[in-house]
């Protein structure tokens, strides 16, 4: 087995430092900066590749991805409600978090594939954009029904013009318009420094994950089991969908990872304002302190094997 990618070790460092209450704290502005660079870099990379390759995205792929985003929250809701015996609001919140995707996890999987020289579809960042929002809307519907209590207009504005979508789509557009040659001058910053920026991002994520461990203790074994079993099941669904769409093994790995990942930025913000009765610590802790570490340390190598196996 190859040695663990150093960027993952930065995450471990963050967790250890956080748990030990070490004097280590990155200012909020640094987190904002680092995540902005990551999102733009992911978008740009996708855009540059798309400019190179003339094949667009098949319509069936578009439809399958949106359907996946709409469908993934439903089993999550059922398990949380009936196995976890959580309230309707908490179950819906978990459904939104686990149905939506984590761009941080996406950054790790593309770094993982790149370091192993495994190719994947250039349009993968578009999948992130397509998978982020539908599950959050379904989660809110599961909690609220079609009642008028939700300010849908403002919510749609918040979701579709959220930071991650604007930066990803913006990066994709700039990369696509400028192409490989046009972006040559900015490539050292966005592509050359990608792994270093990712390492800083993961250090901060480790600190944040560690700060959620006390909440984890309060919520007990269900949330840990949930945070591990859900991504495994979702990865099988994602990899299978990728197989049916005829993706490469690398693309199937990315899609499995996206399905397995849980949102910890877009979903918490939207759910907090649209479903205030839900306990925000519960979903965020599951997503951040259980599922994110599980996916980046254990999950991604596993999903790659699953993809290779299913691809045959």
Kindly list the residues in this chain that would bind other proteins in the complex (CB under 8 A): 25-28, 31-32, 154, 158, 204, 208, 211, 264-265, 268-269, 272-273, 276-277, 284
The neighbour count for residue 297, using CB atoms within 10 Å, is 15
Residue 154 Cβ vs other proteins, minimum distance, rounded to whole Å: 8
CA 262, distance to chain mean position in Å, is: 6
Shortest distance in whole angstroms from residue 277 CB to other proteins: 6
The alpha carbons of the chain give a radius of gyration, in whole angstroms, of: 18
Task: Give min distance, CB of 132 to other proteins, in A.
Answer: 16
Q: How far is 104 from 107, CA to CA, in rounded Å?
A: 5
Residue 3: CB minimum distance to other proteins, A: 30
- Of 158 and 173, nearer to other proteins (C-beta) is 158
User: Judged by CB, which is closer to other proteins: 26, or 70?
Assistant: 26
Cβ nearer to other proteins, comparing 25 with 82: 25
Residues whose CB falls within 8 Å of the CB of residue 93, separated by 6 or more in sequence, listed in order: 139, 143, 267, 271, 275, 278, 279, 280, 282, 283
Identity of the residue, 133 or 265, whose beta carbon is nearer to other proteins in the bound complex = 265
Instruction: Please say whether the beta carbons of 101 and 261 come within 8 A.
Output: yes
Give me the least distance between CB of 47 and other proteins, in Å please: 26
Length of the chain: 312
- The structure tokens 């490539």 sit at 187
User: In terms of CB distance, is 72 or 208 closer to other proteins?
Assistant: 208
For residues 201, 298, 217 and 82, what is the CA-based torsion angle, rounded to 10 degrees?
120
């Amino acid at each position: 087995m190859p040695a663990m990618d150093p960027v993952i070790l930065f995450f471990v460092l963050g967790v250890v430092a956080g748990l030990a209450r070490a004097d280590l704290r990155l200012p909020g502005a640094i987190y904002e900066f680092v995540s902005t660079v990551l999102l733009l870099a992911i978008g740009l990379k996708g855009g540059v590749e798309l400019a190179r390759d003339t094949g667009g995205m098949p319509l069936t792929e578009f439809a399958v991805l949106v359907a996946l985003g709409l469908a993934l929250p439903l089993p999550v809701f059922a398990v949380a409600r009936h196995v976890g015996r959580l309230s309707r609001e908490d179950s819906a919140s978990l459904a939104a978090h686990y149905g939506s995707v984590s761009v941080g996890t996406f950054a790790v999987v593309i770094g993982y594939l790149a370091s192993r020289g495994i190719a994947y579809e250039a349009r993968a960042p578009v999948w992130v954009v397509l998978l982020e929002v539908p599950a959050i809307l379904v989660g809110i519907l599961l909690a609220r029904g079609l009642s008028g209590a939700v300010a849908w207009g403002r919510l749609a504005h918040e979701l579709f013009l959220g930071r991650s979508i604007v930066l990803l789509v913006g990066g994709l557009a700039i990369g696509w318009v400028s192409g490989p040659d046009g972006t040559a001058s900015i490539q050292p910053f966005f592509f050359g420094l990608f792994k270093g920026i990712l390492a800083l991002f993961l250090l901060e994520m480790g600190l944040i994950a560690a700060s959620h461990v006390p909440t984890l203790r309060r919520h007990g074994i269900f949330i840990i089991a949930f945070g591990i079993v859900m991504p495994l099941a979702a990865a099988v669904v994602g990899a299978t969908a990728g197989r049916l769409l005829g993706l490469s093994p690398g693309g199937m790995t990315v899609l499995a990872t996206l399905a397995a990942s849980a949102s910890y930025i877009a979903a918490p913000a939207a759910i907090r304002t649209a479903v205030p009765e839900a306990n925000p610590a519960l979903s965020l802790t599951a997503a951040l302190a259980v599922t994110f570490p599980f996916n980046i340390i254990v999950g991604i190598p596993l999903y790659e094997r699953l993809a290779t196996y299913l691809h045959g």
